[in-house]
Structure 1
């Protein structure tokens, strides 16, 4: 009997910049390692304002310039996601608090963490929201999620897969 895939959910506020960037980057890393069957990846936002929209065009351009294929559409996280996913990685402390509030029984708290907890090269307490800033903010997000996703994949290969 085969083991079910390990499920990772990335979360930011609107699910159009940071969390889809992490989903896209992590999806490529997982694919390149031949682990598509072992790891499932999704992203969501703590608000539903952008539901159904693709990733922000500035975030998409930044990632395309780094060789990533842009996919996905925004959705809002729901309480059942906490049961469905093995790991929920959030962009910042506001998102962390919002997601923890969905965990009424507080049984999922150990699997709700910051994306930056997996950074190896970069030191950051959160992934800043680039939405109202310039191009450098999107580059910073891409740098942070590339580092965190590489660290996450290494962690999963050693401890979960």
Structure 2
């Protein structure tokens, strides 16, 4: 079964979800059928901005370039354009449930539930330091790897 189209969602689309998008894209790059992969935020504060410089730095250190990504906000059509809409934490999942049109076809998931079968949040590293971003990267890499293996 090919990897599903997936939209990763966090609050501002500058820290966690761009990392998840970059990691998932990297892990599926050699697939016969490359899935549609994107990220977005539930808020609009950073629309049009690149990812946080610390996310860019951590990804680049792992050989993943996310510098050309630009933040965008979740739109109603996303719930039709993607098979999976994946929230980084419980508050974003609750917001997505409120935004989801009744006719939506996308499945909503908490990242850790989809990846690990746990209900934990991916912590927001925005107010932290580079070590917090490294910890989030590790969690996202392990999770994205688990998701890819489910569909690979």
- Verify the 8 A CA contact 1:100 1:106 in the aligned structure 2: no
Unaligned segments of structure 1, at least 5 residues: none
Counterpart contact for 1:30–1:153, Cα < 8 Å: yes
2:124 aligned partner: 129
Q: Please tell me whether the aligned partners of residues 115 and 148 of structure 1 are also in contact (alpha carbons under 8 angstroms).
A: yes
Q: Shift in Å at residue 124 of structure 1?
A: 6.7
- Distance in 1 of aligned mates of 2:131 and 2:141: 15
After TM superposition, list the pairs within 5 Å mapping 1:11-160 onto structure 2.
11-31=9-29, 34-35=30-31, 37-70=33-66, 71-105=68-102, 107-108=104-105, 111-120=107-116, 125-157=120-152
Output the CA distance in 2 between the equivalents of 1:16 and 1:57: 9
Shift >3 Å, 4+ stretches = 106-109
TM-score between both structures, scaled by the size of structure 2: 0.90
TM-score of the superposed pair, with normalisation by structure 1? 0.85
Q: Partner residue of 2:5?
A: 7
Per the alignment, do residues 118 and 5 of structure 1 end up closer, same or farther by CA in structure 2, a change over 3 Å counting? closer
Q: Which runs of 5+ in 2 are unaligned?
A: none
Structure 2 residue matching 1:138: 3-state secondary structure: helix
